[in-house]
Structure 1
Amino acid sequence: MRPEEWFELYRQILSDFNFSAEGDAKAARLMHELGKDKLLDAESLREKIEGRDVVVVGGAVDSEIDGEVIITAGKAIVKWLGLSDRTPDVHVTDMEESASLLISLEENGTLLVLHAHGDNMDRIREVVPRVRRFVGTTQNVPFDRVYNFGGFTDGDRAAIIAKRFGAEKITLHGFDFSAEGIKGRKLVWARKILEKEGLI
């Protein structure tokens, strides 16, 4: 997804949800300030993904699936670990999971991709000081190892990352776009983004 494509969608998302672009930017600055030397170069994702068969695991996962690379998205990690003994290769999240779970994933070799947005600054303050290394992302303007690959929810962001960093094949597993309320509205955008990227 080209930056201009993402920012057109981002403007629409901000309007739809009455989100604050400045809040997103402030969260990204906070992540950068707390992360400092912990922030990894994005090419660490390419080392994991490029040329491989990638499975992106979403929140409706109800079975294990094989793939060269497993990328879990957000709270799907809890279900995945209940179904599989395999630690994911990459975990993409805005940190709604417990800090202890994220620390455990990193200790077991998972590359964490942590996302900053205006509503999760408390999570940034709790998680970032406790992990060792991570790739940082924002949905606002990227800067100095805080990246914007595109994507709104953890699931569509994870799939876009797989595409961006050269996956040979991408399988979406456990993606269900039916929900009520604000979650349902977010999933409408996730589906739209994945369709635009040719991922569904």
Structure 2
Amino acid sequence: MRLEEWFELYRQILSDFNFSAEDDVKSARLMHGLGKDKLLDAEALREKIEGRDVVVVGGAVNSEADGEVIITAGKAIVKWMKLSDRTPDVHVTDMEESADLLVSLEENGTLLVLHAHGDNMDRVREVVPRVKSFVGTTQNTPFDRIYNFGGFTDGDRAAIIAKRFGAKKITLHGFDFRAGGIKGKKLSWARKILEKEGLI
């Protein structure tokens, strides 16, 4: 997804949810300030993904999946760890999981992709000081190793990352877009984005 395409969607999302672009910027700058030398170049993702069969694991996962590379998205990691002994290769998240879990994943070889947005500055403050390194992302303007690959929810962002960094094949596993309320609204946007990217 080109950045221009993302920003067209982003403006619609801001309006739909009454989110603050200014708060998104503040959160990204907070992540940058706390992260400093911990912030990885995005090419770390290419080293994990390029030319490989990738399985992206979403929040409705209820079984294991085989793939050369496993990318878990957000709270799906909690279910995945109950289902599989395999540590994911990459974990894409806005940090709703516990900091202890994210630290443990990193210690076991998972590349963390941490996302800053206006509503999770408290999570940025808790998690970033505790991890050793990560790829940082924003949904606003990227800068100095804070990237914007596109994507709204952890799941669609993870799938877009797989595409962006040259996965040979992408399989979505545990993706279910049926829900009510705000969650359903977010999943509707996730589906729209994945369809636009040709990933479903």
TM-score, normalising length from structure 1? Answer: 1.00
Matched residue, 1:194: 194
1:155 and 2:155 are equivalent in the alignment: yes
Matched residue, 1:138: 138
Find the residue that maps to 2:142 and give its secondary structure. Answer: coil
User: Shift of residue 118 of structure 1?
Assistant: 0.2
Distance 1:188 1:108 in 2: 33
Matched residue, 1:113: 113
Shift >3 Å, 4+ stretches: none
The one-letter code sitting in structure 2 at the alignment partner of 1:120 is N
Q: Deviations over 1:20-63 (max 9, x none)?
A: 00000000000000000000000000000000000000000000
Matched residue, 1:6: 6
Q: Deviations over 1:113-171 (max 9, x none)?
A: 00000000000000000000000000000000000000000000000000000000000
User: Shift of residue 64 of structure 1?
Assistant: 0.2
Matched residue, 1:178: 178
Distance 1:189 1:66 in 2: 27
Matched residue, 2:123: 123
Find the residue that maps to 1:118 and give its secondary structure. Answer: coil
Matched residue, 2:104: 104
What CA RMSD, in Å, does the superposition of the two structures yield over aligned residues? 0.2
Q: Deviations over 1:78-104 (max 9, x none)?
A: 000000000000000000000000000
Matched residue, 1:64: 64
TM-score, normalising length from structure 2? Answer: 1.00
Pairing of 1:39-54 with structure 2 (within 5 A): 39-54=39-54
Distance 1:10 1:127 in 2: 25
Find the residue that maps to 1:77 and give its secondary structure. Answer: helix
The one-letter code sitting in structure 1 at the alignment partner of 2:74 is G
Distance 1:65 1:11 in 2: 35
Find the residue that maps to 1:114 and give its secondary structure. Answer: strand
The one-letter code sitting in structure 2 at the alignment partner of 1:116 is A
Find the residue that maps to 1:91 and give its secondary structure. Answer: strand
Pairs aligned (count): 200
Find the residue that maps to 2:96 and give its secondary structure. Answer: coil
Structure 1: which 5+ residue stretches go unaligned? none
User: Shift of residue 177 of structure 1?
Assistant: 0.1
Matched residue, 1:38: 38
Distance 1:50 1:7 in 2: 26
The one-letter code sitting in structure 2 at the alignment partner of 1:38 is K
